[in-house]
Structure 1
Amino acid sequence: MSSARPDVELSVALDMDAMPGHYIRRLQQVAVRLFSEEVGSELTPVQFAALVAIAQRSGLGQADLAAQIGYDRATIGGVIDRLEAKGWVSRTPSREDRRQNIVAITPAGEQAMAQATAAVQRVQTRFLSPLDSDEQQVFERLCRKLLGYHLG
């Protein structure tokens, strides 16, 4: 009979360096840190994604917005609440379905998005800077492939 505890044996058997999910989580942390350094604390990555999606699709409903940016439907309302409190978006009930809110970007939201866009481009450049151009294309292609498979 082994004297080692099962949880210790399990922790030794799990090699974090062999877990892509661990790297993805760490890369997300890096991306958020870079975003905060470049953009500041006034705007989060999710809020920026929401502003871009709303600006690109006029009359977007909250549920559609959540789906478009890959965010949870249950918590997208909080994101919109914060954007609305800043005066960057407005919400109106849908004429077709009163349970649904339609979100629109305001002129102040367009200005905030425009001001953040250059900083977001710097984030992407900094994030991918260790990779050469070919590696960046491969990385992006592999990310799209994994997302396409898992989100189908």
Structure 2
Amino acid sequence: MSDEQEKPDRQIGYRFTDQVGHLMRKAYQKHLAIFQENASDPHLTSVQFVTLCALRDNGPSSQAELVKATAVDQATIRGIIDRLKARGLIEVSKDAQDGRKVIMSLLPDGRDVLDAMYPRASLITDLTMEKLNPAERVALLYLLRKISEDEET
């Protein structure tokens, strides 16, 4: 087998391991592992946590509002809502003005989960970025915000 056949990425200069999507995915996988190892509730996922945070920050919300607040897609948020409701962390009810609209609200047990989780969340962030110095941390957050910024904002 020639060197050309063994290492085609050298010829075209493309290495997937150097690409932003691959590196972001690896960093996110590392973050998720750190989250699961350090969460105060072993059954709480990072996306469930973000959903509870959005409800605490924004108050009772529709599914569409949760999608916008969390950047979680419609199909995924439905499953998250179902699991949080089954655990008694949120309540699902009809909107008073529009009976077709469903509203999610944080319940006291959901607040308790958040209260226990907030100090752990700060630790999780620190552990995720532990290899970065303070300037690199600021730069990383700035760049991630810039990459993920919506076009209309």
Match of 1:144 in 2: 145
Please name the residue that 2:25 is paired with.
Answer: 25
Task: State the AA in 1 paired with 2:83.
Answer: R
Equivalent position amino acid for 1:48 in 2: F
- CA 1:130–1:151 in 2, change beyond 3 Å: closer, same or farther? farther
> Does 2:50 align with 1:63?
no
Check whether the contact 2:90–2:104 (CA below 8 A) recurs between aligned residues: yes
Q: For structure 1, which runs of at least 5 residues remain unmatched after alignment?
A: none
Deviation of the 1:58 alpha carbon: 1.5
CA distance in 2 between counterparts of 1:140 and 1:85 reads 34
- TM-score, structure 2 normalization: 0.87
Identity %: 25
8 Å contact kept, 1:67–1:73? no
Mapping 1:1-150, distance limit 5 Å: 9=8, 13=12, 14-39=14-39, 40-148=41-149
Contact 1:83–1:89 (Cα < 8 Å) also in 2: yes
Counterpart of 1:141 in 2: which secondary structure? Answer: helix
Deviation at 1:16, TM superposition (A): 1.9
Task: Give the distance between the partners of 2:95 and 2:104, measured in 1 at CA.
Answer: 9
After TM superposition, where is structure 1 displaced by more than 6 Å over at least 4 residues in a row? none
How far residue 10 of structure 1 moved from its aligned partner, in angstroms, is 6.8
Seen in structure 2, the aligned counterparts of structure 1 residues 102 and 25 have a Cα distance that, compared at 3 Å, is: same
Q: CA deviation at 1:42?
A: 1.1
Alignment RMSD, CA only? 2.1
Distance in 1 between residues matched to 2:122 and 2:104, nearest whole Å: 25
Q: Give the superposition deviation at 1:96.
A: 2.7
Deviates more, 1:27-36 or 1:89-98: 89-98
Could you tell me which runs of 5 or more consecutive residues in structure 2 were left unpaired when the two chains were aligned: none
Q: In the aligned structure 1, how far is the partner of 2:116 from the partner of 2:19?
A: 37
- Residues 88, 108 of structure 1: 8 Å contact kept: yes
CA drift of 1:59 comes to 2.0
Distance 1:73 1:124 in 2: 26
For residue 144 of structure 1, what is the amino acid of its counterpart?
Answer: R
TM-score of the superposed pair, with normalisation by structure 1 = 0.87
Q: What displacement does 1:62 show?
A: 1.1
Shift of 1:116: 1.1
